[in-house]
């Protein structure tokens, strides 16, 4: 009985050490984003983000059929994307932004890799109704890069994994780690939704600074909702906010930046 008790306290001590180490590592990497003004906890520097994005770009493109063969459409995507960066506060970041049109004409998607590699599929671009909507999609993805969401999520995942590992040590079984990771994943899903809303806000800002119509981003939400078939998945179980929630936040952002004179 004594051995069991001493074993429990030893496991608890080791688990506490893991948690303390994970927390110190996480909170010792804080810095203030020069564009958003937000204090962030990030384990990668900008050079590492850029290298990771460039290294990952070919593989990501291959998963969506490679780059589009439509040279004119590729040029349009890149020119609108570069215009958004050049004419907005995003230019201060000095990330080497590159905008890519992917050949996949069935998948409705756009995404950003850390460091400035941004992609949109033909499946999404073909549904867009005007240049302003394209600017809205690309501006949103630029927002992810500027806000350093990928690097931020990596740091949060490292913290979550550390805490989950500590739970496994303390509990002495795999179930403890499993349930701890479930909770950690739910927390990270919430952060993911917040990231999307922040990128919508930044997308509106960059669109307005670059001279595009920010209301077009609301139309993009309609397109995404129709493409998803009007999914009824509860928002708290999704990594993205509901389209209706996003539309409301976009309207608030438009009003906010107009009040600031944009």
Provide the residue-wise pLDDT of the chain in tens; the chain has 262 residues. 455 555 555 555 555 555 565 555 555 566 888 888 888 777 778 898 898 889 889 988 999 999 999 999 999 999 999 999 999 999 999 899 999 999 999 999 999 988 999 999 999 999 999 999 999 999 999 999 999 988 777 766 665 565 555 455 455 554 445 444 444 454 444 447 888 999 999 999 999 999 999 999 999 999 988 887 644 444 334 456 777 889 999 999 999 999 998 8
Could you give the CA distance from residue 178 to residue 128 in angstroms, rounded to a whole number?
A: 42
83 lies in some domain: yes
153 lies in some domain: yes
Q: From 243, 208, 213, 36, select the one nearest 133 (Cα to Cα).
A: 213
pLDDT of residue 135: 98
Residues facing residue 117 across a β-bridge: 98, 113
102 lies in some domain: yes
Could you give the CA distance from residue 116 to residue 96 in angstroms, rounded to a whole number?
A: 6
Query: b/e map of 194-221 (b: 16 or more CB within 10 Å)?
Result: ebbbbbbbbbbbbbbbbebbbebbbbbb
Give the total number of structural domains in the chain.
1
pLDDT of residue 12: 57
169 lies in some domain: yes
pLDDT of residue 52: 84
1 lies in some domain: no
Range of the domain at 34: 7-259
2 lies in some domain: no
Could you give the CA distance from residue 249 to residue 181 in angstroms, rounded to a whole number?
A: 30
Cα dihedral 237, 240, 244, 247 in deg (nearest 10): 160
To 5 degrees, how large is the angle CA 155–CA 157–CA 159?
75
Q: From 160, 239, 255, select the one nearest 201 (Cα to Cα).
A: 255
């Amino acid at each position: 009985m004594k051995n069991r008790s001493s074993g429990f306290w030893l496991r608890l001590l080791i688990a506490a050490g893991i948690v303390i180490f994970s927390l110190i590592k996480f909170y010792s990497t804080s810095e203030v984003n020069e564009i958003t003004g937000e204090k962030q906890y990030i384990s990668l520097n900008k050079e590492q983000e850029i290298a990771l994005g460039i290294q990952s770009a070919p593989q990501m493109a291959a998963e969506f059929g490679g780059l589009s063969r439509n040279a004119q459409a590729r040029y349009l995507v890149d020119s609108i994307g570069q215009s958004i960066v050049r004419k907005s506060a995003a230019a201060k970041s000095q990330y080497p932004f590159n905008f890519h049109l992917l050949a996949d004409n069935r998948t409705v998607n756009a995404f950003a890799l850390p460091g400035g590699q941004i992609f949109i599929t033909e499946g999404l671009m073909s549904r867009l109704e005007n240049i302003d909507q394209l600017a809205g999609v690309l501006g949103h993805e630029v927002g992810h890069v500027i806000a350093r969401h990928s690097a931020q999520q990596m740091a949060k995942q490292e913290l979550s994994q550390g805490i989950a590992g500590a739970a496994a040590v303390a509990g002495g079984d795999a179930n403890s780690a499993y349930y701890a990771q479930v909770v950690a994943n739910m927390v990270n899903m919430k952060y993911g939704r917040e990231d999307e809303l922040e990128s919508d806000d930044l997308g509106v800002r960059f669109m307005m600074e670059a001279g595009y119509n920010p209301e077009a981003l609301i139309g993009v939400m309609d397109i995404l909702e129709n493409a998803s078939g009007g999914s009824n998945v509860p928002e708290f179980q999704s990594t993205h906010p509901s389209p209706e929630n996003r539309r409301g936040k976009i309207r608030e952002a438009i009003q906010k930046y107009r009040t600031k004179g944009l």
